[in-house]
Amino acid sequence: MSVSHNNQPLPHFSDIINAQSVLKNIVKRTPLERSKSFSAMSGANVYMKLENLQTTGSFKVRGAYYKISNLTAKETAAGVLCASAGNHAQGVAYAATKLGVKSTVFMPVFAPPLKVIATRAYGAEVILTGDTFDDAFKAAAEFGEKTGATFVHPFNDPYIIAGQGTVGLEIFEQLRDIDDVLVPIGGGGLIAGIAIAMKQLNPRIRVIGVEADGAQSMKVSIEKGEPIVLNSVSTIADGIAVKSPGNLTFDVTRELVDELIVVNDAEIARSAYLLLQRAKILAEPAGVAAMAAVLFNKTDLKGRNVVPVISGGNINMSILEQILEKGVMDEGYRARIAVLIPDQAGMLKSIISILEKVKASIHDIYHERSTTSVPIGFVQVTITFNLQDTSQLATILTELENRKMQYQVLK
């Protein structure tokens, strides 16, 4: 391993090769699938690297296992710990259990219950503490000092970077003729590993990093010439909502990554919906950032062989519900209207009869009488309904107008 400017070792290509041999029968060699739909939509030849199908649901297990497998006997006996509310926690828990090492995971108290359950199921002791991730991180550091357990950093560690770099080796083995690899960036462990692998295998392959609009810590750091800490981050892609890159990941990115681009939450949500609908692939918001960059033409990829890394699939169910709801409404197969009608028997029935005419199926109905915007003697009825054809909404609205009903289409 060579040394970065701050005396920490940067992994070499040989470390990634070594990591691959260690991980051989531990992690899945995930598929690289060409997508006809997304190729047609973007004008590029799109091959998806499906790390959402990895053990534990994300690429994180690669780095975690390689790191823990390199501990000394003394370190192994003292156990490992990490602070994470997401995929890193599950990767560490799974890897430690597999290697017979005790693991303790600190999570903030608001951590999604499903992630807590999954992490415990992989064998970790989960300690919920603090309101924020920083609180959990502090508690983990104190625990480490007290117990001597090794802290497994989510990205700023040479073994973690080398482990994540095995994704790059696999991509190259699966498709030699690559022009661009697009990688989501949180702390930068995944892109650092992939960049080291790709640039060694073929320096002409472009490595492009993708950050969430509300968490551009790597982009800002590269522009400023040093790792900086953002005051706050805000994005639905919680897996890449990182306030600051590591010094190691920053060094590798500055040296080897060709371009950094950003996608916003609306683009991420739309891409997650399209992945599910067109490709039957369930990915979390952070996991679809690279695909969003492809679908929303954030850089010129026309006619090129591009590989967006779908980095994880551990989606929060309430976010999934919102993505699906919004996706169906954006496509015009679900609509929501608010109609103001006299509060009399039979009035609701007349609206329902209009919907029945076009065979629209009602999703839900909500009555509102008590707000000041509803005049006395009236009721506002909000109806959400599914359509068989996007043109049907216009027919329904015309019918409401013919009956002199006041309505508003809600988004």
The tokens 């591009």 sit on which residue?
Answer: 306
Helices (H) then strands (E): counts for the chain: 16, 16
Band of pLDDT at residue 3, cut at 50, 70 and 90:
very low
Rg (CA), the chain: 25
Band of pLDDT at residue 371, cut at 50, 70 and 90:
confident
> Does pTM top 0.85 for this prediction?
yes
Structure tokens at 276: 């599910």
Just list the catalytic residues. 60, 311
Give residue-wise pLDDT tens across range 161-182: 999 999 999 999 999 999 999 9
The residue extents of the domains of the chain are: 1-331, 334-410
**The dihedral formed by the CA atoms of 117, 238, 225 and 2, expressed in degrees to the nearest 10:** 30
Task: Give the class (CATH, top level) of 1-331.
Answer: alpha beta
Give residue-wise pLDDT tens across range 227-264: 999 999 999 999 999 999 999 999 999 999 999 999 99
Band of pLDDT at residue 7, cut at 50, 70 and 90:
low
Task: Compute CA distances 325 → 112, 276, 342, 356, 385, whole Å.
Answer: 21, 13, 30, 22, 11
In sequence order, what are the residues at sequence separation of 6 or more whose Cβ sits closer than 8 angstroms to the Cβ of residue 342? 377, 378, 379
Average pLDDT over residues 39-62: 98
CATH classification code of 334-410: 3.30.70.260
